[in-house]
Amino acid sequence: MFKVVKYWFQKLLEWKYGSISLPLLSISFPFGKHKSKVVIRTLKNVVLNFCIILQVVVVVVCKFGGKTNENTEERKYVLQVGNENQLADSTLKRLLRSFSELIKKSEKKEPKSLLNLIKENPNKIFQGVRMFDKDDHHVQCSPLKVEYQDCWSLTVVTLTTIAITLPNIEKVKLDNLLKSVRQGLQYVTLVEETLDVNVSIQKAAKILWEEVDFRHKWLGNKLKKIASQVKKDGAQVDTNLQIVQLFLKKATSKIEEGRGSSNICANSMSRVTETIIRDKESHKKLFDELSSRITDIMAACLTNLPQAIAKKCHTSVIEKREESVKGAVKLLGETKEIINILQEDYDIPNMELKDLPFIDKWCAYLSGP
């Protein structure tokens, strides 16, 4: 024997015991208005009682009529309602077919530029994650040292801002980098949002990227104006260094102004530019060096895609679960090739799963002995 869970007739109970507005109640009857309400509500309850009994009978008949499938391997991945432990075979097959079609459809929306960037990256050990910040996770602000957290998307935006401001870079190389970063940030941001990584910094990164990508500014400063302040009578190495130093100067000025998202972005620029200035080897081919670091940082973040996809499938809010699972399936289809490349070709560090979503944890691990 089994118990029919309330879920199957919950809505009918709500209609029965809830206050429902019926058009019939506004009609005049020969007998009093109160009596007419009583009659209609009584009829309503009789009809709903019959519907509840009918619903229970249907559930019982379906329960006894269904056959148990010995292969339950796939059932554990499907949402079960209440205490129902089995799902009709036809429903399960329909879901699997629907998801397979959705994955195939999503594969056609694969981010080609991002995929090529990750595939063609000669460095498969995430060296750029370790290189982007060698300042022991502190930023020098005036005479004080301030503890500061970063996130994947903000670091990518900061490095990209510097890269696209450098002079004498081929337009094709600039366009390819920007296209790859635009595609990459969609998935980097999705990973961060799904895994709840540094929410306030994520928001600052989103605002900054819109400013950089659409208005060609960094915290109100036009990128062209920054580039125009460079003395071009020196070598390319000196010109690149001047750009970095100008960004550091403007970042320091913004930090001194106060807090908020601008302060977060300025801190990111400060620590990144200080690292670049100290790393003299990177000055020679700075654009290529920055592109490599951007690729490594996005790739490191995207190693969390399987974790993000799994979490989207296990959202606790039932009303949002169907859409969340569909979103996870689409994400899997779009990024399946990227996930395969990262897992097969890249040397993913042996870190704890809970630490993988955080860039500062990666830096600490990769910089360790």
Q: What is the pLDDT of residue 137?
A: 43
pLDDT band at 90 (very low <50, low <70, confident <90, very high): low
Within a domain: 85: no
Phi, psi of 128 (to 5 degrees): -65, -25
Q: Does residue 319 share a domain with residue 266?
A: yes
Within a domain: 99: no
175 Cβ contact list (under 8 Å, min separation 6): none
pLDDT band at 92 (very low <50, low <70, confident <90, very high): low
* HEC-encoded secondary structure of 184-241: HHHHHHHHHHHCCCCHHHHHHHHHHHHHHHHHCEECCEEHHHHHHCCCCCCCHHHHHH
Q: What is the pLDDT of residue 169?
A: 92
Within a domain: 246: yes
Q: What is the pLDDT of residue 198?
A: 85
Within a domain: 26: yes
* For the chain, the helix, strand and coil percentages under 3-state DSSP, each to the nearest 5: 70, 5, 25
Taking the alpha carbons of 147, 152, 158, 163 in that order, is the dihedral positive or negative? positive
Q: Is the pLDDT of residue 84 over 90?
A: no
Q: What is the pLDDT of residue 76?
A: 55
Q: What is the pLDDT of residue 27?
A: 47
Q: What is the pLDDT of residue 232?
A: 73
Q: Is the pLDDT of residue 4 over 70?
A: no
Which of 35-39, 257-261, 333-337 has maximum average pLDDT?
A: 333-337
pLDDT tens digit sequence for 21-43: 444 444 444 444 555 666 776 77
Q: What is the pLDDT of residue 262?
A: 92
pLDDT band at 53 (very low <50, low <70, confident <90, very high): confident
3-state secondary structure of 140: strand
What's 310's DSSP letter?
Answer: H
Which of 25-34, 77-86, 252-261, 351-360 has maximum average pLDDT?
A: 351-360
Taking the alpha carbons of 269, 271, 272, 276 in that order, is the dihedral positive or negative? positive
pLDDT band at 316 (very low <50, low <70, confident <90, very high): low
Q: Does residue 322 share a domain with residue 178?
A: yes
Q: What is the pLDDT of residue 26?
A: 47
pLDDT tens digit sequence for 164-185: 999 989 999 999 999 999 999 9
> Taking Cα atoms as reference points, which of 107, 104, 301 lies closest to residue 190?
301
Q: What is the pLDDT of residue 333?
A: 93
Which of 73-77, 161-165, 332-336 has maximum average pLDDT?
A: 161-165
Quote the number of domains for the chain: 2
Q: What is the pLDDT of residue 18?
A: 59
Q: Does residue 253 share a domain with residue 161?
A: yes
> What would the two tokens of residue 84 be?
């129902």
Q: Does residue 171 share a domain with residue 240?
A: yes
Q: Does residue 146 share a domain with residue 6?
A: no
Which of 62-71, 115-124, 154-163, 275-284 has maximum average pLDDT?
A: 154-163
Bridge partners, residue 140, by sequence = 145
Beta-sheet strands, E only, within 104-199: 138-141, 144-147
Within a domain: 76: no
Q: Does residue 162 share a domain with residue 20?
A: no
Q: Is the pLDDT of residue 69 over 70?
A: no
Alpha helices in 146-170 (DSSP H): 152-165
Q: Which domain holds residue 228?
A: 112-367
Q: Does residue 203 share a domain with residue 145?
A: yes
Q: Does residue 46 share a domain with residue 142?
A: no
Mean pLDDT along residues 69-79: 53
Examine the fold and report which residue of 14, 36, 67 is the final residue of a domain before the chain moves on. Answer: 67
Q: Does residue 149 share a domain with residue 1?
A: no
Q: For residue 148, what are the CA distances in angstroms to 74, 201, 203, 271, 297?
A: 45, 11, 16, 10, 18
Average pLDDT, the chain: 81
Q: Does residue 303 share a domain with residue 173?
A: yes
Q: What is the pLDDT of residue 331?
A: 93
pLDDT band at 3 (very low <50, low <70, confident <90, very high): low
Mean pLDDT along residues 127-146: 55
Within a domain: 73: no
The mean-pLDDT minimum among 63-67, 211-215, 272-276, 365-369 falls in 63-67
Q: Is the pLDDT of residue 142 over 60?
A: no
Q: Does residue 131 share a domain with residue 265?
A: yes
Q: Does residue 271 share a domain with residue 153?
A: yes
Cβ–Cβ < 8 Å for 165, 286: no
Examine the fold and report which residue of 67, 94, 124 is the final residue of a domain before the chain moves on. Answer: 67
Q: What is the pLDDT of residue 227?
A: 93
Within a domain: 316: yes
Query: Which position has the higher pLDDT, 235 or 244?
Result: 244
Cα distance between the two ends of the chain: 62
Examine the fold and report which residue of 67, 83, 99 is the final residue of a domain before the chain moves on. Answer: 67
